[in-house]
Structure 1
């Protein structure tokens, strides 16, 4: 189990709950013997490259968490280096809740889900938004998507934790389903043509 994950997630209150319920010593051993787990490894980068969406959590000034889904074509979430993720931020519904939250509190969280392969990765860190940096905007630009980029959101990684696949439902995207049924549709079309010829010759 990654050390940095434990340092962030296992607050004094969490540790007290673990002690009361008998799991504290087990997690202490896991954390003591585990890797740092504070970088984007090549394997995690490969995982991120195939995502078409993720959940971003920020914290408001009144202490409430705010979770937002961000979606795009695979590759829209960029691995800029082993400690930094970035993505383009468009106008959307112009509520600017994420931008406002990050203005007051940089702590943030990413929940990355790959339903197709039943994998999930949690990422803790600090986020910031940057406006007017044309070079950075080009780094996160999504090919063939013409909407204007208002800003770039950078996520500075502090801890990463991979979870087990238990209870994750398998879900397929439209493109994946279309690719799977394409041979079946072709076969049906071929059989219909054969049947049509047989009936016309009958």
Structure 2
């Protein structure tokens, strides 16, 4: 856990609960040993590059948090530089809740999940929206996905403030269709070979049976 993450989320009330429940000293030691910067390192950058989805929380004018899911091909969230992420915001159901929340408060929390390996990376940042400004056309074009049917409405940049690798405990492993196919590919290949071998043997038996009846 980075020291900056603790500075942002370990408020006095949070620390009070940690003290009452016996974990405060543990996190104090972690803070003493943690780096103070917010830049994403090689491990964080590689992890994000392999994700095909993430969850993003924002806060609206009523004070209620709102969590939105974003998905795409692996690497659709780009690490532009160690402290800056970006992704194409595609046209969806046109509710624009997150977009309105950004106008109220630019702060967001992101969860990047690797369910098979029970790994979670949390990122805190501030949003920068590019839709009608002078930078938008070039950014939208550079983030345009291969699927031309997807309409890119804007590009969202996220300036990283802090990050934390979370405990794997209680993360239920889940697998995408692609990940399952990768695992069972050797079995599928083996079954195909066995089917071909069985077909060849049946044909040999039919041919032998014809010879014996002749």
TM-score, normalisation: structure 2: 0.88
Shift in Å at residue 30 of structure 1? 1.8
Q: How many residue pairs are counted as aligned between the two chains?
A: 202
Shift in Å at residue 156 of structure 1? 0.9
| Consecutive unaligned residues in structure 1, runs of 5 or more | none
State the partner residue of 1:128.
128
Shift in Å at residue 152 of structure 1? 1.0
Q: Secondary structure at the match of 1:150?
A: strand
State the partner residue of 2:208.
none
Is the 1:5–1:37 contact (alpha carbons within 8 Å) kept by the matching residues of 2? no
Residue 177 of structure 2 is aligned with which of 174, 179, 189? Answer: 174
State the partner residue of 2:38.
38
State the partner residue of 1:147.
150
Whole-Å separation in 2 of the counterparts to 1:105 and 1:19 = 31
Whole-Å separation in 1 of the counterparts to 2:143 and 2:149 = 13
Whole-Å separation in 2 of the counterparts to 1:14 and 1:4 = 15
Whole-Å separation in 2 of the counterparts to 1:180 and 1:78 = 27
Whole-Å separation in 2 of the counterparts to 1:182 and 1:27 = 44
Shift in Å at residue 183 of structure 1? 2.7
Is 1:8 paired with 2:43? Answer: no
| Consecutive unaligned residues in structure 2, runs of 5 or more | 206-214
Whole-Å separation in 2 of the counterparts to 1:102 and 1:81 = 22
Shift in Å at residue 165 of structure 1? 2.0
Is the 1:4–1:38 contact (alpha carbons within 8 Å) kept by the matching residues of 2? yes
Whichever of the two has the greater Rg, that structure is 2
Q: Secondary structure at the match of 1:172?
A: coil
Shift in Å at residue 88 of structure 1? 0.6
Q: What is the aligned-residue RMSD (CA, Å)?
A: 1.6
Is the 1:37–1:160 contact (alpha carbons within 8 Å) kept by the matching residues of 2? no
State the partner residue of 2:93.
93
Q: 1:122 to 1:194 in 2, by over 3 A?
A: same
Q: 1:37 to 1:164 in 2, by over 3 A?
A: farther
Which deviates the most, 90-99 or 186-195? Answer: 186-195
Whole-Å separation in 2 of the counterparts to 1:24 and 1:15 = 7
Which deviates the most, 76-85 or 37-46? Answer: 37-46
Whole-Å separation in 2 of the counterparts to 1:34 and 1:175 = 36
Whole-Å separation in 1 of the counterparts to 2:182 and 2:30 = 42
